[in-house]
């Protein structure tokens, strides 16, 4: 600041207004506004306190003496009379009483920025966390410490964080569903990827999202409803996590009066953890049907059949399927020797590989049943050209293929590209793919899949679809099935049935030789 | 397990954080839910944040920090020369903010130190004083490390008088200098003869008069006055008008009975009544007692000190004890006196951010509609500022209730992890000192701490967390 006006010949205006106290902050704003008027070099609008009179003196004014702190002092230094006139006009404007504020303009709340804040405000009992994986633990831990259960959809969460989360949850008496948990049903509310199922007596504990959806949808097809479906995360039955959430979820459903029978669904678990869980399940008062996928174990459809038997409900003679009309005469029957699986659901892929490998031998995969069946290191399911020789199945929902991309249950782009590549590969013969309906999934998967399937069938491929859904799903199961069948696909509600049908087509093709 | 059984027995109440897909799926089922306004944290080290959240001591430690903060009391028990209270020796000076030496000190801190050397009679003129300060004969220490606080430059020398406050709940004592008024004053870096003369009068007349009065009345409950002032338009940092008048109301009768000559009594009453910020120097030590009550709890992520020395902003956190986490002090954004402007402003300075540390000042903006224009305009803005601060604090202080928020307690106890997670930095109301030594106050406005203080504290907390 300079102690006196820059221009010695400046126009100086000094006035004192008696009465009409204004607070100092308001007046500083007014002074700032006047100072911004072009041609004004300095402006002071302030109550005439001793301090402010000194400031005026520093600015080159001779302050009046007969004033009190209740008088308004206006001191303006400008380059010319016109600037001063503008400044004084602005002064009147600034000192005028403000317009009445809009009614209801007050903002006394802001949106919650953390899960803990949201839970404390609402008394929420469940948090759903789907942030990027590196940030998921913090929000999930916040939920658990605030006394809520949490479903963690995010993947790429380190194992030590999952263990800490689940141990803290045990101490708090709440459940951690996840990480990498996509499906839950709580009291009829579907959380994440969930089909619209009827309420009923069967409760699920699932270390597999699509596996749980498959079981719930088959039960729904048989007219049997669901009490709750508690996800536990794809890694819960690993050696490290040791079934922490599975055991807690089993106990919770055991105590739930609405649950008459429990189904435990998992992709292939660690053997020693499976033993612990089976032993725990056997101790419960509520019967438990254990469907742990693995070599020599029953498939999910078989598990559903056992459930129906245990609760005394009729088992359908066969599960719904929509087989294509006789193929056009110009199209040869499926003649390729190889089976190719293009899956969105990891557990559905596991189940299909278990069934197919029992019949056809090794099935290569990015989620292989045995380490030696892994895809070649340089095989990239997202690249053009043949992927690998022989039978293979790819889980397009696997972590490494979904990083930075939408899950194939939401967006089929990557699977469509692969399907087009298979149609161009003379070694391919039968393509098996899954379509999963329900909340959060693609609102109309047949709209993009049907034309691609029609093109593949026209090119000589046989296409088999495993369709997981219910009549009440927003996508309309029957409309989806009809569109896929019309494109030439054989459509099955049972994933196991779809896999067996695909195996039969491969065998038939192999017995007739290559196309 | 009981909570889990309850979850299964009732309709779930849901909050969502992350992708909108899941929220949309709940909407499609007509299930009401609350969507968190989530954003990535303000840290490049999410693993450190996870380690701190995983610290099993944290939840209990923060609850204890909150309990202690809310239980802390503050009573004015005495007024004394700093030499007696702090044991300051001649040549020793306290200052605001984290530790700093003369070489890095900003203009206002240098100006205030210069004035204090002159006041103590250790130099004949400013130049002589500066030579001494630049040499080795002078010792500097943060007020905070000597148990007290000082506004702006916060310079305290042995002959200056200080308020002495006690927290009987925790058996602790704090102190703060006497407020000199506005404009050309030492704490804003001015050291002209009138400044020194005023300080001499404060030591010879004001201090002894206040001591006589306080000793005659017995302890004065400062926390109770703060409770009332936040319901009278004061936020305790940039506005202390009601608090000042209430203090004067308590002191005047005993001052009148103290035998002080009428003319002296009039000087004292005029000085206190004529300085709307007089009570700031009682709010600050009261807040310091409250914050200190929460200090040193292993695992706690609650901030116990926010302060600035005009060069750096310093943060201390309960779980990391006396360690300072510093970053460059920002320049406040605000309104300027007369024809001063932003170019005249010194970076942020003063221990007065202890008020925000304790839930007053910027955190209590909803209670100070008269000064909302510092916050950028309107009363709704002030309400929102306070509402946002609830997102980064661990408790609400029922002793400091805000009428405009239906008497909700002020947001209290800043959580380092919440600041980084929400991206909401603590809002601090502050005075603005001129950057040139000797200038004094040039304005008042708003400032936030640098993020570095919080990321540094996070790293410290992560290092202290058990595996």
In this structure, the answer to whether residues B392 and B414 fall within a common structural domain is yes
User: Could you tell me the residue ranges of all domains in chain A?
Assistant: 11-95, 115-310, 321-511
Mean pLDDT of A201-223: 96
Q: Give the chain B residue nearest A182 (alpha carbons).
A: B22
Enumerate the H helices of A338-444 as residue ranges: 346-360, 399-402, 413-423
Q: What is the mean pLDDT of chain A?
A: 89
Distance from CA of A164 to the nearest CA of B (A): 7
Q: At residue A139, does pLDDT exceed 90?
A: yes
Per-residue pLDDT at A50: 82
B48 is a domain residue = no
Alpha-carbon distances, residue B43 vs A99, B52, B154, B307, B390 (angstroms): 43, 13, 32, 22, 21
Helix/strand/coil (H, E, C) string of A4-69? CCCCCCCEEEEEEECCCCCCHHHHHHHHHHHHCCCCEEEEEEEECCHHHHHHHHHCCCCCCCCCCC
Q: Looking at the DSSP assignment, which residues form a beta bridge with residue B412?
A: B395
Residue B199 shares a structural domain with residue B328: no
- The confidence band for A49, taking pLDDT boundaries of 50, 70 and 90, is confident
Pair B98, B174 in one domain: yes
Average pLDDT of the residues in B197-224: 96
Flag whether pLDDT at B122 surpasses 60.
yes
Q: How many CB pairs under 8 A join A and B?
A: 251
Task: Give A-chain residues touching B1 at CB under 8 angstroms.
Answer: 173, 248, 251-252, 255
CATH class held by domain A11-95? alpha beta
Contact at CB, A258 and B341, closer than 8 angstroms:
no
Q: Tell whether the model's pLDDT for residue B333 goes beyond 70.
A: yes
- pLDDT level of residue A459 (50, 70, 90 thresholds): confident
Is the ipTM, as predicted for this complex, more than 0.90? yes
Say if B31 falls within a structural domain: yes
What residues in B contact A110, CB-CB < 8 Å? 384, 387-388, 391
Enter the pTM of the model: 0.88
> Chain A residues with CB inside 8 Å of B2's CB?
173
pLDDT of res. A326: 61
**pLDDT at A103 exceeding the cut of 70:** no
Query: In terms of domains, do B152 and B279 share one?
Result: yes
Q: Is the pLDDT of residue B277 over 90?
A: yes
Confidence of residue A20 (pLDDT cuts 50, 70, 90): low
According to CATH, the superfamily of the domain at A115-310 is Succinyl-CoA synthetase domains (3.40.50.261)
Residues 6+ apart with CB under 8 A from A445: A412, A435, A437, A475, A480
Does residue B44 sit within a domain?
no
How many CB atoms are located within 10 Å of the residue B296 CB?
15
Q: Residue A514's pLDDT band (boundaries 50, 70, 90)?
A: very low
The total domain count for chain B is 3
Please indicate, yes or no, whether residues B235 and B333 belong to a single structural domain of this protein: no
User: Residue A378's pLDDT is what?
Assistant: 87
Determine, yes or no, domain membership for B290.
no
The CATH number for A321-511, chosen from 3.30.450.190, 3.40.50.261, 1.20.1260.10, 2.40.160.40, is: 3.40.50.261
Residues B65 and B77 in one domain: no
Inter-chain contact A131–B12, Cβ cutoff 8 Å?
Answer: no
Give residue-wise pLDDT tens across range B56-87: 999 999 999 999 999 999 999 999 999 999 99
Tokens of B238: 């940039």
- Please name the residue of chain B whose CA is at the shortest distance from the CA of residue A124: B13
* Per-residue pLDDT tens digits for A276-320: 999 999 999 999 999 999 888 899 999 999 999 999 999 998 999
Region B441-455: mean pLDDT is 94
Q: Which residue of B has its CA nearest to A77?
A: B339
Q: Which residues on chain A are in Cβ contact (under 8 Å) with B337?
A: 28, 55
Residue listed under structure tokens 């380490």? A371
Q: Is it the case that residue A60 has pLDDT exceeding 60?
A: yes
Q: Which residue of A has its CA nearest to B58?
A: A145
The mean per-residue pLDDT over the stretch A105-123 comes to 85
pLDDT category at A336 given cuts 50, 70, 90 is low
User: Does the pLDDT at position A497 exceed 90?
Assistant: yes
Rounded mean pLDDT of B333-342? Answer: 88
Residue B212, pLDDT above cutoff 80 = yes
Per-residue exposure over B313-335, b if at least 16 CB sit within 10 Å of its own CB, e if not:
bbbbbbbbeeebbbbebbbbebb
Tokens 């909108």 sit at which residue? B20
Query: What's the pLDDT tens digit per position in B153-166?
Result: 999 999 999 999 99
Count other C-beta atoms under 10 Å from residue A453's C-beta.
27
Report phi then psi at B178, rounded to 5: -90, 140
| Burial grade of A400 (CB within 10 A; 0-12, 13-18, 19 or more) | exposed
Q: Is the pLDDT of residue A88 over 80?
A: yes
What span, in angstroms and rounded, lies between the C-alpha atoms of B200 and B273? 19
B120 and B17 share one domain: no
SS3 at position A209: helix
Band the pLDDT of A94: cuts 50, 70, 90.
Answer: confident
B384 to A107: CB separation less than 8 angstroms, yes or no:
yes
pLDDT digits (tens, 9 = 90+) for A145-197: 999 999 999 988 999 999 999 999 999 999 999 999 999 999 899 999 999 99
At A398 the three-state DSSP class reads coil
Contact flag A1-B422 (C-beta cutoff 8 Å): no
Q: What is the pLDDT of residues B366-421, one digit of tens each?
A: 999 888 776 557 888 889 999 999 999 999 999 999 999 988 999 999 999 999 99
Interface test with A, best of B9, B17, B49, B367 (most A CBs within 10 A): B17
What six digits make up the tokens of B290? 């409250």
The residue range of the domain holding B315 is 60-69+295-464
The pLDDT, as a whole number, for residue A510 is 66
pLDDT of residue A7: 45
Residues B267 and B344 in one domain: no
At residue B142, the pLDDT reads: 98
pLDDT of B251 over the 70 cut: yes
State how far the Cα of A143 lies from the Cα of A95, in Å rounded to an integer.
51
Long-range interactions of A351-354: CB distance < 8 A, separation 24+: A351/A211, A351/A214, A351/A293, A351/A299, A351/A300, A351/A495, A351/A496, A351/A499, A352/A393, A352/A432, A352/A466, A352/A495, A352/A496, A352/A498, A352/A499, A352/A502, A353/A393, A354/A293, A354/A294, A354/A295, A354/A297, A354/A299
- Averaged pLDDT, A100-120: 74
Task: Return phi, psi of residue B135, to 5°.
Answer: -85, -160
Is pLDDT above 60 for A329?
Answer: no
What percentage of chain B has pLDDT greater than the value 70? Answer: 99
* Nearest-CA distance A152 → chain B (Å): 10
Question: For residue B299, is it within any domain?
Answer: yes
B65 and B76 in a single domain? The answer is no
Bridge partner list, A62:
none
Residue in A124, A168, A252 closest to B14 by CB? A124
Please report whether residue B122 resides in a domain: yes
d(CA A488, CA B58): 60
Considering only the C-alpha atoms of chain B, give the largest distance between any 2 of them, rounded to a whole number of Å: 81
Residues B321 and B232 in one domain: no
Sign of the C-alpha dihedral, residues B361, B367, B371, B374? Answer: positive
Same topology, domains A115-310 and A321-511? Answer is: yes
A256-278: average pLDDT: 95
Same domain for B64 and B78, yes or no, is no
**Same domain, yes or no: B254 and B310:** no
> d(Cα A303, Cα A498) in Å, to the nearest integer?
16
Of all residues in chain A, what percent carry a pLDDT higher than 70? 91
HEC-encoded secondary structure of chain B = CHHHHHHHHCCCCEEEEECHHHHHHHHHCCCCEEECCCCCCCCCCHHHHHHHHHCCCHHHHHHHHHHHHHHCCCEEEEEEEHHHHHCCCCCEEEECCCCCCHHHCCHHHHHHHHHHHHHCCCCCCHHHHHHHHHCCCCEEEEHHHHCEECCCCCCECCCCEEEEEEECCCCEEEEEECCCCCCCCHHHCCCCHHHHHHHHHHHHHHHHHHHHHHHHHCCEEHHHHHHHHCCCCCCCCCCCHHHHHHHHHHHHHHHHHCCCCHHHHHHHHHHHHCCCCCCHHHHHHHHHHHHHHCCCCCCCCEEEEEEEECCEEEEEEHHHCCCCEEEECCCCEEEECCCCCHHHECCCEEHHHHHHHCCCHHHHHHHCHHHHHHHCCCHHHHHHHHHHHHHHEEEEEEEEEEHHHCCEEEEEEEEHHHHHHHCCCCCEEEEEEECCCCCCEEEEEEECCCHHHHHHHHHHHHHHCCC
């Amino acid at each position: 600041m300079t102690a006196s006006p820059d221009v010695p010949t400046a126009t100086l205006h000094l006035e004192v207004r008696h009465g009409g106290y204004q607070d100092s902050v308001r007046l500083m704003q007014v002074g700032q506004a006047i100072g911004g008027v072009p041609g004004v070099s300095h402006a002071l609008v302030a109550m005439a306190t001793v301090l402010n009179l000194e400031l005026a003196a520093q600015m080159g004014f001779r302050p009046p003496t007969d004033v009190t702190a209740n008088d308004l002092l206006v001191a303006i230094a400008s380059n010319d009379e016109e600037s001063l006139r503008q400044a004084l006009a602005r002064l009147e404007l600034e000192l005028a009483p403000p317009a009445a504020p809009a009614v209801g303009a007050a903002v006394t709340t802001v949106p919650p920025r953390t899960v803990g804040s949201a839970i404390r405000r609402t008394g929420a009992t469940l948090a759903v966390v789907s942030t990027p994986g590196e940030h998921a633990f913090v929000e999930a831990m916040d939920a658990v410490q605030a006394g809520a259960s949490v479903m963690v959809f995010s993947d790429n969460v380190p194992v030590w964080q999952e263990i800490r989360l689940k141990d803290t949850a045990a101490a708090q008496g709440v459940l951690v569903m996840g990480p990498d948990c996509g499906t839950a049903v709580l009291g009829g509310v579907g959380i994440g990827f969930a089909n619209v199922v009827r309420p009923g007596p069967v409760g699920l504990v699932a270390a597999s999202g699509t596996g749980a959806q498959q079981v719930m949808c088959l039960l729904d097809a048989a007219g049997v409803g669901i009490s709750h479906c508690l996800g536990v995360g794809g890694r819960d039955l690993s050696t490290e996590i040791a079934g922490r959430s599975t055991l807690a979820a089993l106990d919770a459903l055991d105590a739930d009066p609405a649950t008459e029978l429990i189904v435990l669904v998992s992709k292939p678990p660690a053997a020693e953890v499976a033993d612990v869980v089976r032993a725990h399940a056997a101790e419960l008062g509520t019967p438990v049907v254990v469907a742990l996928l693995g070599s020599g174990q029953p498939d999910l459809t078989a598990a559903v059949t056992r459930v129906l038997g245990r609760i005394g409900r009729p088992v359908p003679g066969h599960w719904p399927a929509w087989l294509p009309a006789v193929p056009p005469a110009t199209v040869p029957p499926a003649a390729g020797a190889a089976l190719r699986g293009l899956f969105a659901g990891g557990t559905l892929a596991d189940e299909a590989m278990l069934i197919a490998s029992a019949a056809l031998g090794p099935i290569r995969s990015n989620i292989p049943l045995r380490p030696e069946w892994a895809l070649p290191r340089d095989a990239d399911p997202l690249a053009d050209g043949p992927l690998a020789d022989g039978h293979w199945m790819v889980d397009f929902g696997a972590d490494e293929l979904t990083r930075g991309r939408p899950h194939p249950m939401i967006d089929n782009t990557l699977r469509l590209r692969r399907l087009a590549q298979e149609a161009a590969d003379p070694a391919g013969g039968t393509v098996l793919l899954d379509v999963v309906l329900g909340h959060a999934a693609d609102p109309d998967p047949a709209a993009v899949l049907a034309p691609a399937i029609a093109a593949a069938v026209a090119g000589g491929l046989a296409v088999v679809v495993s369709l997981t859904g219910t009549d009440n799903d927003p996508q309309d199961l029957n409309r989806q099935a009809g569109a896929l069948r019309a494109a030439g696909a054989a459509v099955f509600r049972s994933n196991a049935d779809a896999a067996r049908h695909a195996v039969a087509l491969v065998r038939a093709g192999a017995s007739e030789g290559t196309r | 397990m009981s909570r889990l059984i309850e979850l299964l027995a009732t309709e779930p109440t849901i909050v969502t954080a992350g992708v909108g897909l899941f929220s949309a799926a709940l909407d499609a089922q007509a299930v009401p839910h609350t969507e968190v306004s989530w954003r990535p944290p303000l840290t490049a080290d999410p693993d450190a944040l996870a380690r701190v959240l995983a610290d099993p001591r944290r939840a209990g430690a923060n609850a204890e920090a909150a309990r202690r903060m809310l239980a802390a009391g503050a009573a004015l028990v005495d007024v004394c020369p700093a030499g007696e209270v702090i044991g300051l020796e001649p040549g020793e000076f306290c200052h605001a903010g984290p530790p700093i030496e003369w070489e890095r000190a900003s203009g206002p801190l240098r100006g205030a130190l210069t004035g204090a050397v002159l006041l103590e009679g250790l130099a004949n003129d400013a130049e002589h004083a500066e030579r001494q300060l630049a040499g080795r004969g002078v010792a500097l220490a943060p007020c905070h490390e000597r148990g007290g606080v000082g506004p702006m430059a916060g310079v305290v020398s042995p002959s200056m008088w200080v308020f002495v406050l006690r927290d009987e709940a925790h058996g602790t004592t704090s102190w703060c200098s006497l407020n000199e008024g506005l404009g050309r004053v030492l704490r804003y870096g001015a050291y002209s003869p009138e400044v020194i003369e005023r300080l001499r009068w404060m030591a010879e007349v004001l201090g002894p008069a206040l001591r006589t009065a306080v000793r005659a009345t017995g302890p004065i409950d400062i926390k109770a006055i703060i409770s009332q002032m936040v319901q009278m338009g004061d936020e305790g940092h940039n506005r202390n008008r009601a608090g000042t008048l209430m203090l004067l109301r308590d002191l005047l009768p005993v001052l009148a009975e103290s035998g002080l000559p009428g003319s002296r009594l009039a000087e004292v009453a005029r000085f206190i009544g004529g300085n709307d910020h007089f009570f700031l120097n009682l709010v600050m030590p009261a807040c310091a007692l409250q914050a200190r009550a929460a200090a040193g709890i292993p695992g706690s992520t609650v901030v116990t000190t926010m302060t600035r020395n005009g060069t750096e902003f310093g943060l201390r956190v309960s779980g990391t004890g006396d360690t300072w986490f510093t970053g460059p002090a920002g320049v406040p954004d605000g309104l300027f006196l007369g024809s001063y402007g932003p170019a005249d402003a010194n970076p942020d300075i003063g221990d007065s951010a202890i008020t925000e540390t304790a839930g007053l000042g910027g955190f209590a903006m909803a209670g100070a509609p008269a000064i909302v224009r510092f916050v950028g305009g309107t009363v709704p803005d002030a309400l929102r500022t306070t509402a946002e601060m609830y997102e980064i604090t661990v408790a609400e202080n029922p002793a400091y209730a805000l009428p405009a928020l239906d008497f909700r307690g002020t947001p209290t106890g800043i959580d380092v992890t919440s600041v980084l997670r929400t991206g909401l930095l603590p809002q601090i109301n502050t005075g603005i000192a001129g950057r040139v030594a000797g200038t004094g106050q040039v304005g008042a406005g708003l400032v936030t701490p640098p993020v570095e203080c919080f990321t540094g504290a996070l790293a410290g907390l992560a290092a202290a967390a058990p595996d």
